[in-house]
Amino acid sequence: MATFKEFRNNVKPNWCPGCGDFSVQAAIQRAAANVGLEPEQLAVISGIGCSGRISGYINAYGLHGIHGRSLPIAQGVKLANRELTVIASGGDGDGFAIGMGHTVHAIRRNLDVTYIVMDNQIYGLTKGQTSPRSAEGFKTKSTPEGSIETTLSPLEIALSAGATFVAQSFSSDLKQLTSLIEQGLNHKGFSLINVFSPCVTFNKINTYDWFKENIVNLEQFPDYDPSNRIAAMTKIMETNGMLTGLIYQNKERKSYEDLAAGFKQEALTKQDIKLSREDFDKLLTEFK
């Protein structure tokens, strides 16, 4: 069985020193090893942004997609080879701005894919503009007078869209983050894991200290039931989305793959997809 070190490669990340994405990368590698995966059994699909580079820093199958499109690619990979464990990743701009349409439909579709969003409340790669996750009044290069837009709540949207697994963590809490990713990988359906991953270069408001002061850990509530969707939505709203832990999980709803009639367990590469002459002639007759 592979160790987390076997999910490392020789590519050195060029994130800024102190970036929360380093911890997310480490958590993915540890979680993959902890659930018993080998590097060739994992595919990491990423989008654009600082977080989009993560697919090249992990020893597994990887693809660096285009802006906001990691989820369509990840779902295609899973449908082509359901034997692979598939992780999609990106930032809050990638997933909750240009890619928001894909995010909502991936949630409701419920393919067995784990989506890890590195949420730093700013556009880091393009050097500091407001993102959908920036707070009202947030001053950046694109909002010098302060943002007048309402902050988007991905957790509320996920529950509203019918998510079967919703979790949130903080990049400084490597133990919790690793555990949540493990649970997401083991969940049979779509898993959304939002991770507070501070940008130390361009976001001087939502810092590590700020998160530590404002985060509410669900471990503080021993009676909390993550299978209760109404309670999950209530807790999200009560904490203004600043809670961490397993927020909601529905183990009863079947995944897209299990509901799709005739969808085989074997990967396409292992299937005999040759078309017989008889079937070919039948298809031709339909166009005559």
Domains contained in the chain, CATH given: 4-285 (3.40.50.970)
How much is the average pLDDT of 126-149?
A: 92
The whole-angstrom distance between residue 9's C-alpha and the CA centroid of its chain comes to 21
Tokens in use for 20? 């929360």
CA–CA separation, 247 and 232 (whole Å) = 6
CA–CA separation, 44 and 80 (whole Å) = 15
CA–CA separation, 103 and 145 (whole Å) = 30
DSSP label at residue 150: P
pLDDT at 288 exceeding the cut of 80: no
Q: What is the CA radius of gyration of the chain?
A: 20
pLDDT at 164 exceeding the cut of 90: yes
For every residue of 80-148, DSSP letters joined together read H-TTSEEEEEEEHHIIIIITHHHHHHHHHHT-SEEEEEEE-SEETTTTSEE-TTSPTT---SS-TT---
CA–CA separation, 63 and 73 (whole Å) = 9
pLDDT at 139 exceeding the cut of 80: yes
How much is the average pLDDT of 91-116?
A: 96
Distances in Å between the Cα of 78 and the Cα atoms of 96, 202, 222 are: 22, 35, 35
How much is the average pLDDT of 147-158?
A: 96
Task: Judge whether 197 and 120 are in contact, CB under 8 Å.
Answer: yes
pLDDT at 269 exceeding the cut of 80: no
Q: 90, 246, 93: which is closest to 181 by C-alpha?
A: 246
How much is the average pLDDT of 86-96?
A: 95
List 44's β-bridge partners, or say none. 62, 87
- The string of pLDDT tens digits covering residues 205-256 is 999 999 999 999 999 999 999 999 999 999 999 999 999 999 999 999 999 9
The confidence score (pLDDT) of residue 272 equals 83
